[in-house]
Amino acid sequence: MHDDHVILCRCEDVTLGDVRRMLAAGYVTVEDLKRQLRIGMGPCQGTTCGLLLQREVASFLKKSPEDVPIAKARPFVVGVTLKAIAEAADEE
Amino acid sequence: MKSEIVIVGAGISGTAIAYNLAIRGMKDIVVVDQGYLTAGSTGRCGAGVRQQWQTMANCTMAKKSIEFFEHAAETLHYDEDIEFKQEGYLILACTAAEVEQFQKNVALQNSLGIPSKVVSKEEALKIVPHLNPDAFISATYCRTDGHLNPFKMTDAYYQAGKKLGVTYLFGERVERIDVEQGRIQRVVTDKRTIETARVVDAAGGYAKEVGELAGVRIPVYAERHEILVTEPIEKMQGPMVMSFSQNLYCQQVPHGAFIMGRTTPNEPHGHDLSSSWQFLDAMAKTVCKFLPKVGELHAIRQWAGSYCMSPDRQPILGPTDQLEGFYLACGFSGHGFMFAPMTGVLLAEMILGLPTTLPVEDLLIDRFKKQTTTVYEKSVV
Ligand SMILES: Cc1cc2nc3c(=O)[nH]c(=O)nc-3n(C[C@H](O)[C@H](O)[C@H](O)COP(=O)(O)OP(=O)(O)OC[C@H]3O[C@@H](n4cnc5c(N)ncnc54)[C@H](O)[C@@H]3O)c2cc1C
């Protein structure tokens, strides 16, 4: 299948082709790729694409995946409405 | 390795300075960053750009910078979209004191050619219909304020600089700046030594520490500021909505997500960038009060970055008599993204000994020597 038809990040619609072009242009860290392509920035926060991206960067750099740092984990694990948080805070 | 100048920091300031030096003909420019492009505050900021300030220096820096942003992609020959959205800032007056102060602010802004205006509650509700009408008294609005994608804007400067021969070293930490007989000799990173007589400190939250490496004292400190983003939805808000007294900024970016932040009171000085529940609770309550519809959205990520705070909340730019060849670009106090085009121009002009585009007296570090400094920027969140 063509690289541009393989979706890595389904939240932000980023394809394998997008990632490979950015890698070739010199953006070779997960943090750089995330910032330039929005990969992993959507509602699932990289749950689906994180490991795929790490593997892709590893194979480009000819490293093993565990030697490629992934994006920093931050809240939230799942999306929460701001209203629910505000209400919970009011009850405290 | 040898260089004409070493710039510490590849955020919006360092990349803008490097480009402006290169376009004016300087060769052998090296930019060093311990992380990646936009690893510091630049990649963590709200990236709002506004001209509605309270001091003359901030107003003119911002106005000239916006004029640059309007043509940035063409000027820098950047193929991608920098996502400049120019739909204004609506700044809410929530106290009688703010109503009065904002009239003065708008008078100053208008005198400098900034098209801001005072708007009534009714007019404000036409601009942002989902605002809670009971939460504010009136507002000011400037339609040419806006927002950009900070990653792409920095990338535009980065790529333009590289085309002009600027060298970027990423993942390299500046650990020493050697000074002998009052002159800079070299910059030592964890990977190499760079012979140079000139250094620019554009290290954002770490500007004070980088100054100390060269024995230069800079009256700034780092302070954590938190921010969050929601899921994207169809467009419902044009301008940035902001309140100084109620401590809020909230903007929908072209991608559809809402980005919002506020200052956590009594934040200790330092480099902690963790995410706190205190911020989340206060942020959720504030946005639900002012923009109840936005409160119905799912927050998907919360993060933090540094403000590099200066004594008068205005940037510290240019040379210092503490050390020849050492230049400062720091102390932006939470608004260095929007000033970066002028930061780049003014630093390049001062370094190359050219006449400056704007008066710089109010921006030099020397201003803090005078005990009479009375100008103090209060329009900040
Ligand atoms: C939550 C938040 C919201 C904000 N919102 C806005 C806004 O809406 N509008 C606005 O204009 N501004 C905003 N700001 C402020 C803005 O982000 C900063 O003023 C601006 O990005 C500063 O850019 P800089 O290039 O000077 O510094 P930075 O982007 O911090 O870059 C400094 C760089 O120096 C590097 N560095 C540090 N020490 C060393 C060392 N020893 N060796 C090598 N490299 C080093 C770092 O890795 C970093 O990449 C916000 C900031 C935060 C935190």
Count of domains in chain B? Answer: 2
Q: HSE (CB half, 13 Å, CA atoms) of B217?
A: 4
The domain that contains B35 carries what CATH number?
Answer: 3.50.50.60
Residues B342 and B229 in one domain: no
Shortest CA distance from B298: residue in chain A? A81
Return the pLDDT at B372.
Answer: 62
Give the residue from B258, B283, B308 where a domain finishes: B308
Residues B304 and B326 in one domain: no
The domain that contains B244 carries what CATH number?
Answer: 3.30.9.10
Asked if residue B230 belongs to a domain, the reply is yes
Asked if residue B72 belongs to a domain, the reply is no
CATH says A3-91 is which class?
mainly alpha
Is the Cβ pair B37, A82 closer than 8 Å?
no
Return the pLDDT at B24.
Answer: 98
Residues B206 and B317 in one domain: yes
The domain spans of chain A are 3-91
Q: Where in the sequence is the domain holding B201, given as residue range(s)? A: 5-45+151-220+312-369
Return the pLDDT at A28.
Answer: 97
What's the rounded Cα separation, in Å, for the pair A44 and A55?
Answer: 19
Residues B353 and B213 in one domain: yes
pTM across the whole model: 0.97
| CA of B35, closest atom in ligand 1 | 47
- Average pLDDT, stretch A7-16? 97
Give the residue from B308, B323, B348 where a domain finishes: B308
Residues B244 and B295 in one domain: yes
Return the pLDDT at A90.
Answer: 83
DSSP B35-95: SSTTTTGGGGS--EE----SSHHHHHHHHHHHHHHTTHHHHTT--S----B---EEEEE-S
Return the pLDDT at B370.
Answer: 79
CA–centroid distance, residue B125 to ligand 1 (Å): 34
Return the pLDDT at B379.
Answer: 85
Q: What is the mean pLDDT of each run of 10 residues along chain B (381 residues)?
A: 98 98 98 98 98 95 98 98 97 98 97 98 98 98 98 98 98 98 98 98 98 98 98 97 97 97 96 97 98 98 98 96 98 97 98 97 93 73 86
Structure tokens at B219: 């009256």
Asked if residue B83 belongs to a domain, the reply is no
Asked if residue B97 belongs to a domain, the reply is yes
Is the Cβ pair B287, A38 closer than 8 Å?
no
What ipTM is given for this predicted complex?
0.93
Cis peptide before A76, with omega less than 30 degrees from 0? yes
Has residue A57 got a pLDDT over 80?
yes
Return the pLDDT at B373.
Answer: 58
Give the residue from B288, B308, B328 where a domain finishes: B308
Return the pLDDT at A91.
Answer: 80
Residues B122 and B263 in one domain: yes
Residues B267 and B210 in one domain: no
Residues B183 and B325 in one domain: yes
Burial of B54 (0-12, 13-18, 19+ CB in 10 A): buried
Return the pLDDT at B205.
Answer: 98
CA–centroid distance, residue B34 to ligand 1 (Å): 13
Q: Are B238 and B251 in contact (CB under 8 A)?
A: no
| CA of B338, closest atom in ligand 1 | 11
Return the pLDDT at B378.
Answer: 83
